[in-house]
A and B are shown apart, each in its own frame.
Chain A
Amino acid sequence: MQDKLIDIKNEAVAQILAAKDARELEDIRVEYLGKSAGKLTLLIKKLPGLPPEEKAIVGQFANEVKQTIEETLQAQKKAIQKEKEANIAETEKIDVTLPAVFPPEGHLHPITKTLKEVYEVFKFMGYQMITGPEIETDEYNFTRVNMPKDAPSRDAQASFYLDTRNSKIYPGEYLLRTQTSNMQSRALERIRPPFRVFSPGKCFRVDDVDASHGFEFWQFEGILIDKNITVTNLLGTLDFILKSLLPGTEVRFKSGHFGFTEPSIEAMIRCTICGGRGCPYCKNLGWSEILGSGMTHPNVYKAAGIDPRGWTGFAFGMGLSRLALLKNQIDDLRVLTNSDLRILKQF
């Protein structure tokens, strides 16, 4: 019996040490230690039949054999693992220059990305974001911002008029807003000063479509009403906003003319195409107009029922589409309404 146990032990240990992988080791374990048919298990099952004095000695020896086999199995398992790990550089090698598996990747539109930047700058300056209707009355779009009917300043903003059939509305009364300045009329009417708001949105003008014109485009408008607001406040605000949105740019101002402001001021930036050396885009001036602004006209306050002597403030408007073009070096406004993924994937 003991001889048999020694044979089994030697046989098992030899096999274990020759084993190359975990599967082989498991087979060996089952061969000797398996619950039903393991060679050692079967021998141990015979122990109860031995005489008592022999049973104790052989039993102890059998346990030692079992323990040796188990320990050798463990040791060999570790050794195999260690050897395997030492070689993974070769055995598990992959070509890391093969193409990646990309997660599905979507893209934000350049207008959204630009608006996000605009939003952050305004938020920093304490402005709240508001939005309003695109189908607008002539009154809110023009009259209340001091652009009465027959004002020549309306010529630059040819409007789409809504079909009024089957309604009680007069033709010409409703239009698609030509400027976000309709929100000046609405903010002054509904928001109690002092306030700082800005309003981005889509605007519509009857215009031929080309690289720099479209009949639908995006603007944003900033409005601040408070006490003791000055032109220097306006210039400082514009300077900060433009330099935040277009880092590295230079800003200059010139006198302008807008119905809703008096005085009216336009801001110019260093031409982004030529950097100011002069090019066809900036008509060799080195500067291009970017923004219209001014101190809110007394007539605008009056139209909203606010005492122009009690409050001062300013408003300014800028092309969000134009800014998106500048920031992404897009040379054609039509790119912004083109849904070709070959374009969208670039942003």
Chain B
Amino acid sequence: MLIPLSWLKEYVDIKIPFKDLAERLSEVGLTVETWHEQDGDIIFDPEVTPNRPDWMSVYGIAREIAAVTNSKLKNQNAKLQFKINKSLKIDIKQNYDLISRMTSVIIKDVKVKQSPEWLQKRIKQIGLRPINNLVDITNYVLWVYGSPLHVFDYDKIRGHQLIVEKSAGGEAFRSLDGIDYHLPNGAIIIKDLGRIVDLPPIKGGQNTAVSTETKTVLLHSVVCNPILSRRASQALGVRSDSSAVSERGVDPNGTVAAVDLALSLVLELAGGQVASEIMDHKTQEFAPWTVEMSHDRLEKILGIKISSREVKDILTRLGLEVAGEYKVTVPTFRDDLHIEEDLIEEVGRIHGYNNFPKTLPAGPVSTAPVAYARDFDLEFRVKSLLKGDGYSEIYTYSLVGERQLVDLGIDPGKTLRVDNPISRDFEYLRPRMIGNLLEAMKLNQANFSDIRLYELGKHYTGPTIGKAKEEYWLSGAQTGEKFYEVKGIIETLLIQFGVPYEIKPDNTSAQGHPGRSAVISSGDKLLGYLGEMHPALLARFGIKGHVSGFTINYDTFTSLVNLNKKYRPISKFPAVVQDVSLIIPEKVLYGDVLEAIWSTSKLIADVQLLDKHEQSTTLRITFQDTTKNLTDREVNELRAKILKKLAELGVKNKD
């Protein structure tokens, strides 16, 4: 809301330059960051926090300025004297759960016309359009006190009755600016005999709006239930100046002063006579309340020494009444002050946080394992390793589109989704990262031939929210037919972090190449997959050429990490190295050959693949006994044992 500086000056003396004032107000929580000069005046737009509806008014801001600059708040407008001619009646059926207070008055023989220059200027300054003297007065008073007002054409109110109700939902309502609404359930409405005439605090109705023919008006100020006001505003997608204040909570004792000021302005600018007493329908007397604060606790929380004189001074300047140390009486316009901590904040912010010393907490530091703990050192080491492999890290959106899921062969019906996506492209929570990864590969293929990307992020799996699961995965991809390179990267990762693993062929994945994919496991735990991507999948993502990649369940990985190292001395006895040439049938996997060799004896220290042709495979086997020298006879026996075991697999010795 826009506030002209000259208007504030009607209520408080401001002696400091505006920029200093803006800084001081910002420091106490009323952020003033935007302003402009207009015809010698300064108009600013403060950011009012939701807890301070009192700052949504000229008088409220003036009160804060008086407190922070230690100057005097000028008196409110003088109590109005007028003669009541009790000739007109209105029958008001209140519902105090909806409107806790309604203060009304009827004025007859008014002249609806243009507002005088000064009033039009104020209305324009605050960014509104002058309409007529009566409507302008309601906006003017709303700005002064933050109390919403509405003016009806009394003669148009059927049956001269106003009934406060909740909408049932679906009712039609045309506002005074000519817009048709279908009301949601639970909005506050005011009806006359059969029609909705007002939708407080959002908008008045066209059917009872003031026009140039209007002779008699009903003026009222209402205090609406903030929650219902907010819900109705949200449901309708409409927020008016009145509803913005009402959602945050209007001062229940503000209606009388607001009606007083409005009435005096009506009599001055539109003439007429007061035709009713001021009718005040309220659920109760709205009394101030008391909050106790101890000086000890104040200093304990703030961490500063402060005199009780200063504490009392600060609270008094804010319009609170203070007795003893400290029994504080809080006026109704400060509904944000109900507990001791609230008052401590008042003292702290006015004293000024920039005047506080800065200290560090002295307490104990814990190294005990905590719930939700995460090992960032490990994460950073993993990422550094991949960096060394030439992989660049990406961060992609968790929300993805249906199209991507379909391209991946994933059923969107079994994927977690949000009810209110910002667009169809960001509707589902990714159950895999590979889709984003492939899109990133595609993005780069025009500019790079060797692309290596990875992400450490979450997979969100369903199929329904009742069974939702979040898991960290580490997924990467690189261009080319690089199965063995990727396998090397992953094995290095697993070996460096002490994770035992097995890699076996896999043709179950819809995303992997059926002949060039492998599953990685550790005991009975699935660790992930690696291999080339399915050519059909790459085609669906518009990727040319081959892509190889990996995906590791990072949570499982971290649960298996073992960084404890145990030193083993180098053997004093020499190792014996032997090469064997084998003919391995097509159906036998190299992994099976390896396993057969390793399982032969504990004296086998290493097996390396030396050479692999179509017909023959040469292996280099290292034998090592750490307790003595191996004799030729022992080695020959071991070799014979190995060859016998291999023969069982159908593997022949070529020599």
Contacts and interface: CB of A to CB of B under 8 A. Distances in A.
Nearest to A155: B50
A325 interface: no
A269 interface: no
B263 to A, nearest CB: 31
Interface string B212-235: 000000000000001100110000
A6 interface: no
Contacts of A228: 300, 363
Nearest to A218: B395
A111 to B, nearest CB: 6
Contacts of A263: 301, 341, 344-345, 348-349
The 9 A-B residue pairs with the shortest CB-CB distance, nearest first, are: A104-B390, A230-B303, A126-B365, A263-B345, A255-B29, A232-B303, A167-B466, A339-B440, A257-B49
A163 B348 contact: no
A257 B51 contact: yes
Contacts of B421: 160
B398 A134 contact: yes
Nearest to B394: A339
B28 A254 contact: yes
Interface in A222-252: 224, 226-233, 235-237, 239-240, 252
B383 interface: yes
Interface in A185-212: 186-187, 190-191, 194-197, 199, 202, 204, 206-209
A162 B415 CA distance: 11
Contacts of A104: 388-390, 450, 452
Contacts of A190: 370-372
A135 B429 contact: yes
B302 interface: yes
A337 to B, nearest CB: 6
Nearest to B414: A166
18 contacts: A104-B388, A106-B388, A108-B383, A112-B380, A115-B376, A150-B230, A152-B226, A152-B247, A153-B50, A155-B50, A202-B398, A202-B458, A206-B420, A233-B360, A262-B339, A263-B341, A283-B33, A295-B341
Interface in B441-459: 443-444, 447-448, 450-453, 458
A254 B372 contact: no
A131 B417 CA distance: 22
Contacts of B342: 262
Contacts of B364: 194, 226
Interface string B339-362: 101101100110001101111110
Contacts of A224: 361
B348 A183 contact: no
B622 interface: no
A171 interface: yes
Nearest to B391: A106
A111 B379 CA distance: 13
Contacts of A183: 372
B392 interface: yes
A187 B366 CA distance: 14
Q: How many A residues touch the partner, as a band?
A: 35 or more
Interface string B19-44: 00001001111010110000000000
Contact of B395 (A106, A111, A237, A295): A111
Interface of A: 103-109, 111-112, 115-116, 119, 125-126, 128-135, 150-153, 155, 160-169, 171, 174, 176, 183, 186-187, 190-191, 194-197, 199, 202, 204, 206-209, 215-216, 224, 226-233, 235-237, 239-240, 252-257, 262-265, 283, 285, 295, 297-298, 312, 336-337, 339-342, 344-345
A169 B227 CA distance: 24
B27 A344 contact: no
Contacts of B465: 135, 162-164, 167, 169, 174
A256 B49 contact: yes
B372 A237 contact: no
Interface of B: 23, 26-29, 31, 33-34, 49-52, 226-227, 230-231, 247-248, 300-304, 339, 341-342, 344-345, 348-349, 353-354, 356-361, 363-367, 370-376, 380, 383-384, 386-399, 416-422, 426, 429, 436, 439-440, 443-444, 447-448, 450-453, 458, 460, 463-468, 470
Contact of B419 (A162, A207, A257, A262): A162
Nearest to B374: A131
A344 B373 contact: no
Q: Is the interface of A mostly helix, strand, loop or mixed?
A: mixed
Contacts of B52: 257
Nearest to A231: B302
Contacts of A128: 366-367, 370, 373
Q: Report which residue of B300, B303, B344, B363 has the largest number of chain A beta carbons within 10 angstroms of its beta carbon.
A: B363
B248 A152 contact: yes
Given A163-B419, A233-B361, A340-B443, 17 more contacts: A112-B380, A151-B50, A155-B50, A162-B465, A163-B418, A166-B466, A196-B365, A226-B363, A236-B359, A252-B354, A253-B356, A255-B27, A255-B353, A257-B52, A262-B341, A262-B344, A339-B453
A152 B230 contact: yes
Given A163-B419, A174-B465, A237-B361, A341 B451 contact: yes
Nearest to A130: B372
Contacts of B396: 337, 339
A151 B226 CA distance: 9
A283 B26 CA distance: 13
Q: Report which residue of A131, A160, A194, A228 has the largest number of chain B beta carbons within 10 angstroms of its beta carbon.
A: A160
Contacts of A232: 302-304, 356-359
Given A108-B393, A255-B28, A135 B460 contact: yes
B358 A236 contact: yes
Nearest to A228: B300
A165 B418 CA distance: 11
Contacts of B470: 133-135
B372 A187 contact: yes
B422 A215 contact: yes
Q: Report which residue of B231, B354, B395 has the largest number of chain A beta carbons within 10 angstroms of its beta carbon.
A: B395
Given A231-B348, A252-B354, A130 B374 contact: yes
A214 B235 CA distance: 24
Q: Report which residue of B353, B371, B436, B439 has the largest number of chain A beta carbons within 10 angstroms of its beta carbon.
A: B353
Contact of A233 (B248, B303, B372, B397): B303
Nearest to B357: A232
Contacts of B28: 254-255
Contacts of B466: 166-169
B450 to A, nearest CB: 8
B373 A129 contact: yes
A324 B448 CA distance: 26
Nearest to B30: A255
Contact of A152 (B50, B371, B383, B464): B50
B379 to A, nearest CB: 8
A231 B301 contact: yes
Nearest to A299: B339
Contacts of A202: 398, 458
Contact of A253 (B49, B354, B373, B386): B354
A235 B358 contact: yes
A146 to B, nearest CB: 11
